[in-house]
Structure 1
Amino acid sequence: MAKRPTNNNRPRRRQSLPTTQATISQLNDEGVGIAYHEGKELLVAGALAGEKVLVAIEHSGQRRSIGQLRRVLEKSPLRRTSPCNLAERCQSCALIQMDYEAQLRYKSAKLKQALADFEMLKDLQPQPILAAEHPLGYRTNAKLALSKERGKVHIGLYRRGTHKVVDIEDCPLHHPLINRIVRTVKDEIQRQKIFIYDPQTRRGLLRYLLIKVSPKNEKAMVTFVTAERNYREITHLAKWLARKVPEVISVHQNINGSTGNVVMGRETIRMLGVPDLIDQVGDIRLRISPTSFFQVNHEQAARIYELVRKWAALENHETALDLYCGIGGIALHLAKDAGSVTGIEVVEEAVLNACENARMNRLGNCHFLAGDSAELIHDLAPDSVKVAVINPPRSGCQAEVLEALAELAPARIIYVSCNPATLARDLDLLHEKSYRVTELQPVDMFPQTAHLETVVHLQHRN
């Protein structure tokens, strides 16, 4: 049984912060406004380039200060009315106050600047960004933190640079089903008086709420992350949620007893419903487990997968390699044309999902391997792969992976990136390994944020 957290601290009186006027010169790579105050860089989330603003100084370091936007004194013509009334408090969507066309121009300039940092890439000309048809309501999964203040339950995101949870019941970026689930869970936690985990006292039960939605099927999977194994409260909560929101067809409990910032622990228990969520992107059906990663924007993911398939231009006797394959979304699309496709992924559970997805889609020419990419690439015969697809995390590829891939010498490489800076770094290395960029297509996978997805087509010079 979880212990009831105690809090004998009286509410602290809010201290007034020093304020100053500042002019925003530009936005940084995270979409945060940059001004200069007392010879130091001043970061102001929610401000746009060219704006004169009133700022409260929250933190002043040796080289940089953090400011809180209090009022816009002179507005940028690019500013619009934000669709989120919590934007200034939450600060998770850095560009939500900016006109959407201006967001695309900002991201395009960000990509070009990242390429310009490398001599051999500075003359590359990306195609215009593929804009999102639906720049709101596109997020199909959410990882939300829980907290309790003065007896009130909060479910939402950490405010930028803090561990304070901003309560969000109606996030404009979330799929509407996610918002319904959040409201229902919050009401039931409050009603049952379930104890929320306090990271300071390390006491309490509920830590995080994870939600995954299949927009194709209008179904959802919910995972409660708890500090310890619990049956009674979480079972009651799961049954109540499934009764109030019948679209919830799967509820799990993940146990995370660590004291760090890792969201999920190693053990996951199914509380009720089906074990996995069945989803679909393009014409490929996907089985998604509680712990597996998948893209948050299905519409834009489908466009990326189709573009990768088009550029791969595989024939039925050719072989493809998919690195960082996850649950197999790209590999399965390639398998429709290829003779065979090999997917490599370090997360074993994702590989199990990928194998099941291949069976579910009746694609017997796919097989998946769990392990280190560089080591497994060395097991493949040189010139045995016609096309290799790379879809790494934000940190990009390890140099060992790119070097092993260059030794394998596929005729074409397709790089799917979610970080322009690490993309440019890796493209520069591939250029040294006799690959040249032939096409470069940015895709706005994450509207209202500073993030950008980019798909790059490279060909071997020989």
Structure 2
Amino acid sequence: MSNKRINKNIPVQKNEFLNVTFEDLTHEGAGVAKVDGYPIFVPDSLPGEEAEIKVVKVGKSFGFGRLMKRHTTSDQRVDPPCPIYHWCGGCQLQHMDQKAQLSLKREQVVNALHKYMGRDDIPVHKTMGMEEPWAYRNKAQVPVAERNGELIAGFYAKQSHHIVDMDHCLIQGDQNDAAIQVVKTILKRYNIQPYDEESGKGVIRHIVARNGRLSGETMVMLVTNGETLPKRDAIVEDIRREVSGIHSIVQNMNDKKTNVIFGKRTEILWGESYIEEQVGKLRFALSPLSFFQVNPVQTEALYEKALEYADLRGQETVIDAYCGIGSISLFLAEKAKKVYGVEVSGEAIRDARKNAKLNRISNVEFSVGKAEEVVPWWRAFAEVQADVIVVDPPRKGCDEKLLQTMIEMKPERIVYVSCNPATLARDLRILSEGGYEVKEVQPVDMFPQTAHVESVTQLMRR
């Protein structure tokens, strides 16, 4: 194949070797080098470092490279403690010291506000970090495959569906980590065939472990390719005997050719239908498919900041859009007169109502539906007038119809909890144009060692 440049305006070509200096980092933690203004993204690189790279992919606006040899080393660089870090795609920032990671995450928010709002004057505080930024995850979702005739389980390699076999994960909670390894051994013991993405054959697709940090309860879920699970009774008995703190064993059935992990049908094979987690003073029942933040330590910090920004005095009516299993709603209910929560998942709302009863909180009301449809209905037909609105949307941000309804409802304060700085800044621009002043933003390091950042923003009606 010819190595001629496809586009004369692109100053590099695939498989070319270059000496570069990295100027910046992407929001995913890759180093950014520029050749005649053309950016090339290279993992495991830090600003200020000089290196030899190989161009592995060329696009119209940017390219990707592989680090071949580092000539200079940043003082922010540390040796990643994980032995499979350079292959596994689970973490992106183990090669950065903790201070640099926190600074990068704040810069992600600052840069998004500049790009989407043209604003550099909004106070963005230093990122709230963890004292111990390891072993924090309370949930592990591990894909399974076959290699050399043997079942392996780990995480996907960077930018691929090739599984890197894993014996120990440094960001998983110890109890979950141990549960994954025990279940992996049990599946091998009974020669359970891993699912093959290409052929659609095989039995086991994912092993999922979930742990309550304070309760010590563990849930193990086996995601299977359809209903069949050979040696099911023996596997369940071995998991009961060998997994520490086991409280629930679940089978989820997914026979679709899809990247989506879970199917629609779930069966409890043994034990309870939920485990219990605690954040602050509040207890939460987590069913198999419940969404719940994976870092309970930082979740408490995040929710406390949301509560601070809501500035409740006991007489307010609050709407919690995208309320999930009611976690933020119940925090707010302790200080509010009434809280209305809405979530599209019926199972999540069932959990939210269960959690309200579990904590003996009666001033909350939960509804199933899309926030952009239910909130306008509350306003028009139930005469709900919110003093404060809290939103915690998925990565795609808030629906524009919901944003317009919020503007029309004119609450005194809006609290925006975000997992994506880009969609946060986009939505803040709309709310700002609709009469709200963005007061301040608090980034929170919910996922240490990765490039993700959560944040809480306070808005006040002008």
Residues 130 and 204 of structure 1, relative CA distance in 2, 3 Å threshold: same
- Give the stretch that moved more between structures: 101-110 or 35-44: 35-44
Distance 2:123 2:176 in 1: 38
Paired position in structure 1 for 2:267: 269
Q: Which of 177, 194, 205 is the matching residue for 1:207?
A: 205
1:59-100 Cα shifts (integer Å, max 9, x gaps):
455554433334433211110111211111113311111010
Q: CA deviation at 1:227?
A: 0.6
Report whether the alignment pairs 1:284 with 2:282: yes
Partner of 1:11: none
1:180 CA displacement = 0.5
Inter-partner Cα distance in structure 1 for 2:403 and 2:273: 36
Contact map agreement 2:76 2:97 (CA 8 A) in 1? yes
Residue pair 2:211, 2:219 contacting (<8 A) in 1 also: yes
Residue aligning to 1:95 = 93
Match of 1:12 in 2: none
| Residue correspondences, number | 445
Residue 420 of structure 2 corresponds to 419
Matches within 5 A, 1:333-412: 333-381=331-379, 384-412=385-413
Which of 279, 293, 300 is residue 295 of structure 1 equivalent to? Answer: 293
Q: 111, 114, 132: which is aligned to 2:112?
A: 114
**For residue 245 of structure 1, what is the aligned residue in structure 2?**
243
* Corresponding residue number in structure 1 for 2:326: 328
Q: What is the CA distance between 1:386 and its match in structure 2?
A: 1.1
What SS does the aligned partner of 2:104 have? helix
Q: 1:267 to 1:33 in 2, by over 3 A?
A: same
Sort the Cα spacing of 1:408 and 1:63 in 2 relative to 1 into closer, same or farther, 3 A: closer
What amino acid is aligned across from residue 129 of structure 1 in structure 2?
T
Aligned to 2:71, what secondary structure does the other structure show?
Answer: strand
Distance 1:179 1:22 in 2: 39
Per the alignment, residue 253 of structure 2 pairs with 255
Give the TM-score taking structure 2 as reference length.
0.92
Q: Cα distance 1:440–1:18, how it changes in 2: closer, same or farther (>3 A)? A: closer
Supply the distance in 2 between the matched residues of 1:411 and 1:64 (Cα, whole angstroms): 43
2:160 partner amino acid: T
Distance 2:120 2:256 in 1: 45
C-alpha distance 52-352 of structure 1, shift in aligned 2 (>3 A): same
The two structures, once aligned, show a CA RMSD in angstroms of 1.9
Structure 1 residue 40: Cα displacement: 5.4
1:52-131, aligned counterparts within 5 Å? 52-61=50-59, 64-119=62-117, 121-131=119-129
**Structure 2 contact 179–244 (Cα < 8 Å) conserved:** no
- 2:393 and 2:324 map into 1 onto residues whose CA distance is 10
Rounded to whole Å, the distance in 1 between the matches of 2:52 and 2:287 is 46
Q: Distance in 2 between matches of 1:292 and 1:123?
A: 38
Paired residue secondary structure (1:457): strand
SS at match of 2:373: helix
8 Å contact 2:175–2:244 — kept in the other structure?
no
Q: How far, CA to CA, are the matches of 2:56 and 2:203 in structure 1?
A: 32
Residue identity matched to 2:275: L
1:371–1:435 Cα change, 3 Å:
same
Whether contact under 8 Å (1:383, 1:410) holds in the other structure is: no
Partners of 2:373 and 2:355 lie apart in 1 by: 25
User: How far apart in 1 are the matches of 2:99 and 2:122?
Assistant: 22
Report the counterpart of residue 454 of structure 1 in structure 2: 455
Question: Quick one: which amino acid aligns to residue 444 of structure 1?
Answer: D
Q: Distance in 2 between matches of 1:267 and 1:86?
A: 34
Deviation at 1:392, TM superposition (A): 0.6
1:216 alignment partner AA: L
Q: 2:174 aligns with which of 176, 184, 197?
A: 176
1:32-68 Cα distance to aligned partner (Å, 9 max, x none): 1223469854322112122233445544555544333
Structure 2 residue 431 is the aligned partner of structure 1 residue 430: yes
CA separation of 1:314/1:190 partners in 2, compared to 1, >3 Å: closer, same or farther? same
How far did residue 229 of structure 1 move? 0.4
**1:375-405 alpha-carbon deviations (Å, 9 max, x no partner):** 1111223672111100011111111110011
For residues 455 and 61 of structure 1, the distance between their equivalents in structure 2, rounded to whole angstroms, comes to: 35
The correspondence of residues 130-141 of structure 1 with structure 2, limited to 5 A, is: 130-141=128-139
Q: Which ranges in structure 2 are unaligned for 5 or more consecutive residues?
A: 1-14
Q: Deviations over 1:131-186 (max 9, x none)?
A: 11221111111211111110232211111211101112211111011211121122
* Alpha-carbon offset, residue 226 of structure 1: 0.6
Distance 1:324 1:422 in 2: 15
Q: Secondary structure, in 3 states, of the residue corresponding to 1:53?
A: strand
SS at match of 1:454: strand
Give the letter for the 2:283 counterpart.
Answer: R
Residue 21 of structure 1 deviates from its aligned partner by 4.5
SS for the counterpart of 1:193 is coil
Farther off after superposition, 121-130 or 94-103: 121-130
**For each residue in 1:397-455, what CA deviation from the matched residue of structure 2 results, as whole angstroms up to 9, or x when unmatched?**
11111001111211111001111111111111001111112232111111111111111
Give, in angstroms, the shift of residue 121 of structure 1.
3.1
Give me the whole-angstrom Cα distance separating, in 1, the residues matched to 2:54 and 2:147. Answer: 24
Q: Distance in 2 between matches of 1:235 and 1:250?
A: 14
Which piece of structure 1 moves more, 352-361 or 103-112? Answer: 103-112
Q: Which amino acid aligns with 1:243?
A: R
- Give me the whole-angstrom Cα distance separating, in 2, the residues matched to 1:18 and 1:202: 38
| Partner of residue 43 from structure 2, selected from 36, 40, 45 | 45
Q: Secondary structure at the match of 1:272?
A: strand
Q: CA deviation at 1:232?
A: 3.8
Instruction: Give the Cα separation in 2 of the matches to 1:136 and 1:37.
Output: 37
Q: Which moved more, 1:115-124 or 1:176-185?
A: 115-124
Aligned match of 1:29 in 27, 30, 53?
27
- Larger deviation: 26-35 or 329-338? 26-35
